Amino acid sequence: MASKSLSTASRLTRTSATPLQCLRKPLSHTFAPSQRRAVSAYGYEQAKALTFQEYGDPPSVLSLHAHSISPPHGDLMTLRFLASPINPADINQIQGVYPSKPTFTTSLGTAKPIAVAGNEGVAEIIALGSKPKEQGFKKGDWVIMNGPGFGTWRTHASARTQDVMRLDEATREGISAVQAGTVSINPCTAYRMLKDFVTLKEGEFFIQNGANSGVGRAAIQLGKQWGLRSINVIRGREDKEEEERLKKELKELGADVVITDAELQSQEIKEMAAEWTNKGRAPIKLALNCVNGKPATAMAKLLASEAHFVTYGAMSKQPLTIPASMLIFKDIHFHGFWVSRWAERNPQDKQATVKDVLDLVRAGKFKDTPVDKIAWEWETKGEELIGKVKDALEGYRQGKGVFVFGKT
């Protein structure tokens, strides 16, 4: 068997280097597609990853890189990815404007350091060294990333136990790869923002913009689950039928009120808000903002005195402008939230939050955010995958792009 593997490995490379040296070379130049993965000599795993050498516009700087992963030993394990979403933060990270930077490395067999894109995803353990085994990890386990910067837009990866969080059998039961691969960022963000800044009582209101985003949809559903009422702001659509369809979709998720950013900024908004809140008797005590600019200021104006305004995104790329009176006379508390920092400081709570959300998913009480599944097979071309990343830069999308790995 060993001699067969060795001879196959030799055939696949056109050099006289040792098998190890051969397999550390980028494999895209040495494999014909039909020969792919014909061999995994000495347990080497063939992998492909969307990588970048320098920061910039994702379609210009990303490329699909093939490499191999040596058999795991010590505290290493080899992962095969199952699903990885394209989140706005991933795009920002490739552009170089995200605070969490990826690791640039030559360990994937390139002369110049490269980084693997993507921060969230779920993977299956396909091989492991002695230490992960001692810690209870086993082949076939599903893991999600512990923090940002791991690089999840790839078929396989070598990881250490501290890089990942294991989803135990009970947590994983009945959960799809897409659900597991998208649970740790958006639903956790919505969950913590609703819980950690103010204690809302049943029937009390929160208001949010970007309500049709992954985070927004999670907030609507979690809020409903906890007896809260929500006022949800979306961007208006040119196609009014589409706008109504979206409003209806969010109401079906549990939204109490859905308005457009134009309606939020209209003269009538005060009267409308008085009606929703029974003239302020059901006060709006929390606002969740991922947009900024004028719609965010308009949202803050609807808050009750001493309410909390949490900013967690900047989709409009506009600054957040706050009239001084909101601070002085209304004593509104302005906060920022970053799930990565929260997870780093509260690893146990992250585990519990993920478990809670997946329990709701399993119970049919938490619907998936709409996704555009992007099939990633071994043969899938780089241009195709990068084209999908480019699509994610557009607004008014029907669903979040998620790489779903097939035969890799």
Ligand X SMILES: NC(=O)c1ccc[n+]([C@@H]2O[C@H](COP(=O)([O-])OP(=O)(O)OC[C@H]3O[C@@H](n4cnc5c(N)ncnc54)[C@H](OP(=O)(O)O)[C@@H]3O)[C@@H](O)[C@H]2O)c1
Min dist CB 192 to ligand X, Å, is: 9
Counted residue by residue, the chain has a size of 408
Q: Is the Cβ–Cβ distance between 213 and 245 less than 8 Å?
A: no
Min dist CB 370 to ligand X, Å, is: 9
Q: Are strands 257-260 and 229-234 parallel, antiparallel or unpaired?
A: parallel
Verify binding: residue 353, ligand X, rule CB under 6 A. Answer: no
Verify binding: residue 400, ligand X, rule CB under 6 A. Answer: yes
Min dist CB 125 to ligand X, Å, is: 26
Q: Closer CB to ligand X, residue 129 or residue 295?
A: 295
Window 283-322: contact mask with ligand X (x via CB under 6 A) = -------xx--------------------xx-xx------
Q: Is the Cβ–Cβ distance between 121 and 181 less than 8 Å?
A: yes
**98 an active-site residue?**
yes
Burial class, 8, CB count within 10 angstroms (exposed 0-12 / middle 13-18 / buried 19+): middle
Q: Is the Cβ–Cβ distance between 246 and 218 less than 8 Å?
A: no
Verify binding: residue 185, ligand X, rule CB under 6 A. Answer: yes
Window 208-227: contact mask with ligand X (x via CB under 6 A) = --x-xxxx------------
Among 73, 130, 170, 396, binds ligand X (CB under 6 A): 396
Verify binding: residue 240, ligand X, rule CB under 6 A. Answer: no
- The helix or strand, by DSSP H or E, that contains position 7, with its residue range, turns out to be helix 2-12
Verify binding: residue 259, ligand X, rule CB under 6 A. Answer: no
Residue range at the interface with ligand X (CB under 6 A); choices 34-42, 62-70, 123-131, 184-192: 184-192
Residue count, binding to ligand X (CB under 6 A): 24
Q: Closer CB to ligand X, residue 23 or residue 180?
A: 180
* Three-class SS state of 105: strand
Residue range at the interface with ligand X (CB under 6 A); choices 61-69, 154-162, 281-289, 392-400: 392-400
Tokens of 261: 């950013």
Q: Closer CB to ligand X, residue 186 or residue 230?
A: 186
Residue range at the interface with ligand X (CB under 6 A); choices 106-114, 197-205, 223-231, 332-340: 332-340
Burial class, 55, CB count within 10 angstroms (exposed 0-12 / middle 13-18 / buried 19+): middle
Report the distance separating Cα 172 and Cα 180, nearest Å.
8
Here the contacts of 91-98 (C-beta below 8 Å, separation 24 or greater) are 91/58, 91/389, 91/392, 91/393, 93/117, 93/119, 93/148, 93/149, 94/52, 94/55, 94/56, 94/58, 94/61, 94/62, 95/55, 95/56, 95/57, 95/58, 96/55, 96/56
Min dist CB 268 to ligand X, Å, is: 22
Q: Alpha-carbon torsion 56, 57, 61, 63, what sign?
A: positive
Which of the residues 98, 191, 312, 396 is marked catalytic? 98
Q: Which of 368, 366, 349 is nearest to 146 (CA)?
A: 349
The site for ligand X (CB under 6 A) is made up of: 87-89, 185-186, 189, 210, 212-215, 235, 290-291, 312-313, 315-316, 337-339, 395-396, 400
Active site residues per annotation: 98
